[in-house]
Amino acid sequence: MLEFGYWKAYGVQFESEPKQKQWGAFATFLDEDGNSYVLKG
């Protein structure tokens, strides 16, 4: 989850740190308007 630190350092606002589940890893971030998106890897 090296990319998390990279994007966070560039100011991306995450709602929570990445989580690992059976179906893969995911993290939720906010765009500049406050909309929430999920990244699944």
According to the model, what pLDDT value does residue 33 have? 95
Q: Does residue 28 have a pLDDT over 70?
A: yes
Cβ neighbours for 20, distance < 8 A, ≥ 6 positions apart: none
What is the overall mean pLDDT for the chain? 87
According to the model, what pLDDT value does residue 1 have? 56
In this prediction, residue 31 has a pLDDT band, given cuts at 50, 70 and 90, of very high
Q: What is the pTM of this model?
A: 0.68
Distance CA 37, CA 2 (A): 19
For residue 29, the surrounding DSSP H or E stretch is strand 24-30
Distance CA 12, CA 21 (A): 22
According to the model, what pLDDT value does residue 37 have? 93
Distance CA 29, CA 2 (A): 16
- Each residue's pLDDT tens digit, 4-19: 888 889 989 999 888 8
